[in-house]
């Protein structure tokens, strides 16, 4: 294992507690700060429950401490990850304050979902040590973390952020430009746009869209990425298919009318029991359970594969 680092996580919510858990499970010391003390009070219990559900050593939670003082949480940190509210003003203010409290070599990272990293970090005196670290929910089950470089990020900052996330058992990738949606959400929402267009234009209903994905290329996606798939079938075949269908795909530059109509009519999805589809309580609970079981199985398989590679080397 690499030398334990000191990690500070800002925000003890859905993402913050999972991020803290991963670094602690990777052997690092973690301090978590939140302005809402109730979330700090439940932090240990939430992390212990996750670890126990995964069949992992709950003692990792001992490496996580809560703090209601920002200065104390970030003092001496090697890496600060901000997972507070998705609000540009709050994030800018946090980083401006944090900059005055940390060592000169501390890496500063934001886990924003969609705010450009350069906007968040533009007011800092030392923008070279700042970047994005976009985790996915649940943080302890989804391996990917997109490490987003801005025009100011130094190579050393980038290398340290990548290494620290790797040491926490994550799969960090380097995003070379600070573009909206980074990589994962650009790909995901390109698919969602076409999915909505298929329903909007009456080609099929929402259930059929989801069946088509889950019963076909969705099965392969976890082991065969789109460009691996293009190589598998051949770039010549890929080009031929694109010649036929690309011009016909949706190119909306705004949310589509069908989606906006769902929103304005209150069909907000599972929280309203109606969205693209209608949801009963049982259906919602069943889907949540199947998703979590699937993610846990996948994580178990990843760990088996990792253990096998270590044994073979
Ligand atoms: N939930 C997701 O799927 C997801 C995925 C990737 C990234 N993100 C991003 O991660 C961040 C956190 O999201 P979340 O889902 O954990 O939200 P959340 O509401 O569950 O947690 C946010 C926490 O930040 C705290 N907070 C708010 N302002 C603060 C401040 N000024 N200082 C310290 N703590 C503060 C809140 O009290 C809360 O505990 C957001 O930027 C979000 O967009 C979320």
CA gap 42, 113 in Å, rounded: 24
**Does residue 90 have its Cβ closer than 6 Å to ligand 1?**
yes
Tokens of 65: 């401490």
Model confidence over 119-154: pLDDT tens digits? Answer: 999 999 999 999 999 999 999 999 999 999 999 999
* Model confidence at 1: pLDDT above 70: no
Ligand 1 binding pocket mutation candidate from 33, 72, 85, 183 (most atoms within 8 A of CB):
85
Secondary structure class of 280 (helix, strand, coil): coil
Where is average pLDDT lowest: 1-10, 124-133, 283-292? 1-10
Nearest alpha-carbon partner for 175 in 212, 137, 147, 152 = 147
Where is average pLDDT lowest: 50-59, 142-151, 202-211, 299-308? 299-308
The sign one gets for the Cα dihedral 202, 204, 209, 212 is negative
In 114-253, which ranges are continuous DSSP H helix?
117-121, 155-167, 184-200, 206-214, 217-221, 226-233, 235-245
* Nearest atom within ligand 1 for CA of residue 85: 27
pTM: 0.95
What Cα–Cα distance (Å) separates residue 286 from each residue in 53, 257, 292? 18, 30, 10
Q: Compute the radius of gyration of the chain from its Cα atoms.
A: 21
**Does residue 197 have its Cβ closer than 6 Å to ligand 1?**
no
The pLDDT value given to residue 24: 98
Beta strands in the chain (DSSP E): 6-10, 29-33, 64-67, 79-82, 107-110, 130-135, 144-148, 171-175
Q: Terminus-to-terminus CA distance in the chain, angstroms?
A: 16
Model confidence over 213-233: pLDDT tens digits? Answer: 999 999 999 999 999 999 999
Ligand 1 binding pocket mutation candidate from 8, 9, 10, 14 (most atoms within 8 A of CB):
14
* Model confidence at 240: pLDDT above 70: yes
CA gap 57, 49 in Å, rounded: 11
Ligand 1 binding pocket mutation candidate from 15, 73, 134, 189 (most atoms within 8 A of CB):
15
* Model confidence at 313: pLDDT above 90: no
CA gap 167, 81 in Å, rounded: 15
Q: How far is the CA of 18 from the centre of ligand 1 (A)?
A: 11
Secondary structure class of 173 (helix, strand, coil): strand
Angle between helices 43-53 and 14-25 (to 10 degrees): 60
Secondary structure class of 175 (helix, strand, coil): strand
Q: How far is the CA of 204 from the centre of ligand 1 (A)?
A: 36
Backbone φ, ψ for residue 79 (5° rounding): -145, 130
Where is average pLDDT lowest: 81-85, 123-127, 303-307? 303-307
Are the beta carbons of 148 and 178 closer than 8 angstroms?
A: yes
């Amino acid at each position: 294992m690499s030398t334990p680092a000191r990690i500070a996580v800002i925000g003890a919510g859905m993402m913050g507690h999972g991020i803290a858990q991963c670094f602690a499970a990777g052997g690092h010391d973690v301090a978590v700060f939140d302005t809402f003390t109730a979330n700090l009070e439940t932090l240990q219990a939430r992390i212990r429950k996750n670890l126990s559900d995964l069949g992992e050593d709950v003692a990792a939670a001992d490496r996580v401490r809560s703090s209601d003082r920002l200065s104390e949480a970030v003092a001496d940190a090697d890496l600060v990850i901000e997972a507070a509210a998705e609000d540009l003003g709050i994030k800018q203010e946090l980083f401006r304050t944090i900059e005055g409290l940390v060592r000169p070599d501390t890496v500063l990272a934001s886990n924003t979902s969609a705010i450009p990293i350069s906007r968040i970090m533009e007011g800092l005196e030392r923008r070279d040590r700042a970047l994005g670290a976009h985790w996915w929910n649940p943080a302890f089950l989804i391996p990917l973390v997109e490490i987003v470089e801005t025009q100011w990020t130094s190579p050393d900052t980038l290398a340290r952020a990548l290494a620290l996330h790797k040491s926490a058992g994550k799969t960090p990738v380097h995003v070379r430009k600070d573009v909206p949606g980074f990589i994962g959400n650009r790909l995901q929402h390109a698919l969602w746009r076409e999915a909505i267009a298929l329903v909007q234009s009456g080609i099929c209903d929402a259930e059929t869209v989801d069946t088509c994905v889950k019963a076909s290329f969705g099965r392969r996606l976890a082991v065969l990425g789109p460009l691996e798939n293009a190589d598998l079938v051949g770039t010549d075949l890929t080009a031929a298919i694109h010649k036929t269908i690309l011009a016909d795909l949706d190119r909306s530059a705004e949310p589509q009318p069908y989606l906006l109509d769902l929103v304005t009519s209150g069909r907000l999805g599972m929280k309203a029991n109606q969205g693209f589809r209608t949801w009963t309580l049982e259906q919602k609970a069943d889907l949540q359970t199947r998703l979590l079981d699937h993610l846990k199985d996948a994580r178990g398989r990843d760990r088996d594969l990792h253990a096998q590679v270590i044994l073979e080397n």
